[in-house]
Structure 1
Amino acid sequence: MKTNITLNSIATTIESASSSPLLYVLRDELKLNGAKFGCGLGQCGACTVLLDGKPVFSCLTPLAAVSGRNVRTIEGLGSAAAPGPLQAAFIKHQAAQCGYCIAGMVMRAQALLETRENPTEEQIREYMEPNLCRCGTHMRILAAIREVAASGVLYTRKRA
């Protein structure tokens, strides 16, 4: 079955079963390996991507659910040579230890900072709660998010 999506701002046609998890399509067919398979149950967040600007667990999202929609992965935020603001802050704060959760963490934080201006510490912690880091770098992850939140550089919602 053909499915049309906008992937990282590029119109993309995918030929795969509509029941295929988006994560498998991204990794196996499109060779975008940023989103990771963690638990396969939507409980860890390693596979988080943005769907129309909202974080979703790509391991639980069937391809049929993304037809005609905008999907953004970590690869759509920047590169190693030119990281996006949030990626740069994660690097600066050494937020990754093993790195397995980081793409999902960055994607969830990106969604928060694009839609909420100056989130409080409590709002950041609550929003990030679905994503787990087993290495224990949460404090560095939070520091990176706070830094970018304070700059306001990602906030895109129109001001009244």
Structure 2
Amino acid sequence: MQLSDLKFAGRTPILPINLALADAAGPAELQLLTLLRVLPGQRYVGAGIWRGRTVLAKLLVGSKAARRFQRERDGVHHLAEQGMTTPLLLVEGLKEGQGGWLLFEFLEGAQSLGDSWAEVETLPPLAYEQQTVLGEALSIIATLHSKGLWQEDLHLDNLLRY
């Protein structure tokens, strides 16, 4: 499958998906095994296998793919430049008419703070466990701000615990 085919794949494409991508070493295939977040026709985020290694793949398609790719890529580089803990970007690419891809190291056992919150949200208000999740979120946000960074799509699912 070509990356641009994802534009028409909808919310729940049939997995696994094998995508022809490339890096400095040449063409290779990404086998996308799971989907974690989907914006149909725009962005597909999931876990897969690239050159024998488990990766987190952000795949950007559609008419605004190049702009979204650049924004995602710039954000990752800004985080790293400021010393923020973030998964290592292994491969990135943009192909005209197809879309863009960013492949990151896969952090086994990582959990979004959104998932962490879901585990404690039914506890009595301000339970210790809730304070812990919210405290982690506020600490991350404060650190970002102290380094001149901000998250434009701020919600707990966009913050990782690892």
Task: Determine which structure has more spread, i.e. the larger CA radius of gyration.
Answer: 2
- The alignment's TM-score, normalised by the length of structure 1, stands at 0.29
User: Hey, which of these two has a bigger chunk of strand by percent?
Assistant: 2
- The alignment's TM-score, normalised by the length of structure 2, stands at 0.29
